[in-house]
């Protein structure tokens, strides 16, 4: 994934912003006149097979950034390339295919279908991918077993605890078998013990399967534990990009230094 100079203003303002950019206005002028931009400028590359963490306080633009990667948020300006394909400007059908076959997303609030069983929730994505019924069931069962939910296949999401529901979300994402996983605060709603367990499980699965994972968190310890590399965001910009060790031992500025003071 290659992201280059992305910029994002929301809503109807976006259309006006695009027009003004075309007419030669600078981002600084636009950001000043529109109040805030969610992402002002970000460039980075995510390498194949790494866990790339985006860390920053609430409101720093993390979700906006990750949603640019799969086109859920169209960029106002800049470029996003996934497997060599430019995402910016893709049509609705191509974006749907990209999300279905190449990059699945795990959300903070699980986004499970309440009226489908646990098994069907995991199999559902495979149905959309066109996987045959028997294989869907088998893969769904397999992944539910892997996340410790064997025996819960016929339950409904509402009968499960938050931690278990999040495991269903994880099983669904892994069952989909896309090369890239996008995870937006995927563990933030969990209590600390289950959260650590999920982090360990994610690393284990990642090492086994070699997926590329973009993981968003506002939690420094989680970032340090999971990240091969970490991008620290502040006010719509990446203020440092490096390994956990780089960020801990050589913070780029006072802001990052402040942030890493709290590491366990
Ligand atoms: P984070 O995920 O780091 O908390 P977000 O990307 O959600 O940050 O938000 C960054 C900024 O963009 C915030 O100021 C937020 O209010 C604004 N924003 C996010 N989504 C929208 C939206 N759909 N419409 C308008 N403003 C938005
Ligand atoms: Mg967010």
- Hey, which residues does 4 pair with through a beta bridge? 79
Give 91 Cα–ligand 2 centroid separation in angstroms.
25
Q: Look up tokens 């209590």; give the residue.
A: 191
In terms of pTM, does the model score above 0.90?
yes
DSSP structural state of residue 158: G
ipTM of model over 0.95:
yes
Candidates 3, 49, 21; CA nearest to 205 is 49
Task: Indicate whether 138 pLDDT > 90.
Answer: yes
- Ligand 1 pocket test: pick from 12, 62, 64 the residue with the most ligand atoms within 8 Å of its Cβ: 64
> By percentage, how much of the chain surpasses pLDDT 90?
75
Express each pLDDT in 30-84 by its tens digit.
888 887 889 999 999 999 999 999 999 999 999 999 999 999 999 999 999 999 9
Q: Which residue minimizes the CA distance to atom 23 of ligand 1?
A: 10
Give the Cα separation of 182 and 77 in Å (integer).
21
Task: Indicate whether 262 pLDDT > 90.
Answer: no
Give 209 Cα–ligand 1 centroid separation in angstroms.
32
């Amino acid at each position: 994934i290659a992201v280059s100079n992305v910029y994002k203003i929301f809503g109807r303002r976006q259309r006006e912003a695009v027009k003004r950019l075309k007419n030669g206005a600078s981002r600084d002028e636009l950001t000043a006149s529109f109040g805030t931009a969610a992402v002002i400028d970000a460039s980075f590359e995510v390498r194949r097979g790494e866990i790339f963490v985006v860390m920053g306080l609430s409101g720093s633009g993390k979700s906006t950034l990750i949603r640019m990667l799969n086109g859920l948020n169209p960029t106002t300006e800049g470029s996003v390339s996934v497997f060599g394909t430019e995402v910016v400007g893709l049509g609705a059908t191509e974006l749907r295919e990209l999300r279905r076959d190449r990059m699945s997303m795990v959300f903070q609030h699980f986004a499970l279908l309440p009226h489908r069983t646990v098994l069907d929730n995991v199999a559902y994505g495979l149905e959309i991918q066109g996987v045959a019924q028997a294989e869907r069931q088998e893969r769904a069962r397999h992944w539910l077993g892997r996340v410790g939910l064997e025996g819960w296949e016929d339950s409904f999401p509402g009968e499960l605890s938050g931690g278990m529901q999040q495991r269903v979300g994880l099983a669904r994402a892994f069952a989909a078998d896309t090369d890239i996983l996008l995870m937006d605060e995927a563990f933030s709603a969990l209590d600390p013990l289950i959260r650590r367990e999920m982090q360990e499980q994610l690393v284990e699965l990642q090492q086994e399967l070699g997926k590329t994972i973009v993981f968003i968190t506002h939690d420094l310890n989680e970032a340090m534990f999971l990240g091969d590399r970490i991008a620290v965001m502040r006010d719509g910009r990446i203020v440092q990009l490096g390994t956990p060790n780089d960020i801990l031992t050589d913070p780029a500025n006072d802001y990052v230094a402040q942030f890493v003071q709290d590491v366990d």
